[in-house]
Amino acid sequence: MLDEIIRGGTVVDGTGAASRTADIGVKDGRITAIGDLSDAEAAIVTDATGMIVTPGIVDPHTHYDAQLLWDPTASPSSIHGVTTVIGGNCGFTLAPLRPGDDDYLRKMMAKVEGMPLAALEQGTTWDWETFAEFLDRLDGKISVNAGFLVGHCAIRRYVMGGEAVGNAADADDLEKIRAELATAIEAGALGFSFTNSTSHSDGEGEAVASRWATPDELMELAAETGRHEGTTLEGIVPGCLDQFDDDEIELLGAMSAAADRPMNWNVLTVDSREPDRVPRQLQAFDRATELGGRVVALTMPVQVPMNMSLANFCGLWLIPGWGDVMQGDVATRIARLQDGDTRVRLLELSKSPEAGVFRRLADWDDYIVGDTFSAENEGLSGRRVSDIAAERNRSSFGTFLDISIADDLKTVWWPTPQDDDDESWRMRAELWNDDRAMIGGSDAGAHLDRMCGAPYPTRFLGDCLRGRQLTSVENAVRLMTSAPAELFGLKDRGVLREGACADIAVFDPDAVDSGPARLVTDLPGDSARLVADSIGVKRVLCNGVAIVEDGAPTGAIPGTLLRSGRDTHTVTARPVTEGGAR
């Protein structure tokens, strides 16, 4: 007898092949048969008539490293059909961890990844040291499959202590960093991640440890990664946020070639007002190919709900010159923001070429007021700044600041996307079918009260089925399942076929979608985050066990802690010929 039969659904198998009506049989965590199973029996029979049945979604860029320690469901990703998450990105992981260094690490993660400090302080015990011990904390205790790269910042800090910030590694340091990377990979790390992005500073305002590494250090660690089976690379450089310079393209390609492993980076944004960005960013792949590497851009297929508040670190702080004004306590910041000369300077900076990709945050007319906190701002929620400014006979930027100041900077702002035009969507659809890019970049588990990227699978499917219909549902599913699974070398995942792991999602094509982002207070320490309900998600299986039924988590924990070599096979950067030569 089978454990479950999913009967009569439209099977979209993840390969891009045409869909077909079939039954799927599941036994002992694997798919045992796909076809006509009308004569078979099972403990559970799911009627999928009129539904589409897909592989579980693979999210290649998350920061669930901390959240999974108190939330095994990886919410809200799992209720949107995600069965596999990759963490440890951008050079940031929770291990290895020097004894007594947990406070520094918590404050760094709160700053760079927007994880509430109270949640980090109260959500777990922080009594592991090695990467192996961290992985063991999750093994057998999670609802989804989860794999983790090991972050350069953690390794460097573990080896060099406080000297990791402000200093290059000497020969002895580098050998210890290399050895610690090897140890983490041998314990199961899926590979190596790093950052030298100028947007990444620690809780003390200093450049994070990875940013102090020389190119030679990064090259050595890439080469070490390539000495191990089933590994990969991920990196963030300053140009990821706008456009690469030549040195960044060279570094990414050279590291990939040194490891003979693919390198992925996050995130390639598409905006018809910046037509040169996509071609420039994809040159990283082209140059890597010349060097013998492979550099793949992650890009999102939907617009991610994202808000901001001047009370907390947000994208506006990253506009050159804004960070200096926004430092200090609230009273100090308000005094600066009330000064006329400062306002003029901030406005000019927000529109300057140096603002790069953050210029799109300077469309002050189109900000929507979210939550407000003062009597002066009562009744403004949901209104557009330009309309309020017209009533007050003020500039939109001045009105934006006035409203914020009245709320002691706590006002929640929702920027209206400026890249929602037909040409931007045409460019996105073209990018989805470019082998130099891959769907991903949700950042799920990070920036918790500011953005909500986790629901992208249901939003994308809904758009493909009933919205813009810019690509077929078969291709959309392939882009979110087998494509990322193949890049990371995940064994038997990302496809529906006999013998594959039974990671399966059942969606209602007439309804599948994401609800609106909403703020809830359900994290440790009474911390808040943005979540969104799923719509039309009938059932999600991970390793053959239901983790979601009718859009709600079941509480089951069948997820696999993915370890390199055991759960991944080696994906090389260079193509392999029939004779096996590269």
Per-residue pLDDT of 519-557, as tens digits, reads 999 999 999 999 999 999 999 999 999 999 999 999 999
Return the pLDDT at 356: 78
> Is the predicted pLDDT of residue 339 greater than 90, yes or no?
yes
> Whole-angstrom Cα distance, residue 418 to residue 133?
45
Asked whether 49 and 21 are in contact (CB, 8 A), the reply is: no
Residues 6+ apart with CB under 8 A from 367: 384, 385, 396, 400, 413, 414, 415, 416
Return the pLDDT at 575: 75
> Whole-angstrom Cα distance, residue 471 to residue 389?
40
Q: How confident is the model at residue 580 (pLDDT cuts 50, 70, 90)?
A: very low
Mean pLDDT, residues 497-525:
97
Residue range 542-551, pLDDT digits in tens: 999 999 999 9
CATH of 58-303+419-491, one of 3.40.1410.10, 1.10.150.120, 3.20.20.140, 3.40.1080.10: 3.20.20.140
Return the pLDDT at 576: 59
2-55+505-559 fold: Urease, subunit C; domain 1 (2.30.40)
> Is the predicted pLDDT of residue 395 greater than 50, yes or no?
yes
Residue range 567-577, pLDDT digits in tens: 999 999 987 55
> Is the predicted pLDDT of residue 578 greater than 50, yes or no?
no
> Is the predicted pLDDT of residue 582 greater than 50, yes or no?
no
> Is the predicted pLDDT of residue 175 greater than 80, yes or no?
yes
Residue 541, SS3?
Answer: strand
Residue range 250-269, pLDDT digits in tens: 999 999 999 999 999 999 99
Residue range 431-478, pLDDT digits in tens: 999 999 999 999 999 999 999 999 999 999 999 999 999 999 999 999
Sign for the pseudo-dihedral over CA of 461, 464, 470, 473? positive
Q: Which of 294, 389, 401 is nearest to 345 (CA)?
A: 401
Return the pLDDT at 491: 98
Asked whether 25 and 42 are in contact (CB, 8 A), the reply is: yes
Return the pLDDT at 443: 98
Return the pLDDT at 241: 86
Per cent of the chain over pLDDT 90 is 94
pTM of the model: 0.95
Residue 68, SS3?
Answer: helix
Return the pLDDT at 312: 85
Q: Mean pLDDT for the chain?
A: 96
Return the pLDDT at 358: 83
Q: How confident is the model at residue 413 (pLDDT cuts 50, 70, 90)?
A: very high
Residue range 24-64, pLDDT digits in tens: 999 999 999 999 999 999 999 999 999 999 999 999 999 99
Would you call 393 exposed, middle or buried from its count of C-beta atoms within 10 A (0-12, 13-18, 19+)? Answer: exposed
Residue range 292-307, pLDDT digits in tens: 999 999 999 999 989 9
Domain boundaries, the chain: 2-55+505-559, 58-303+419-491, 315-415
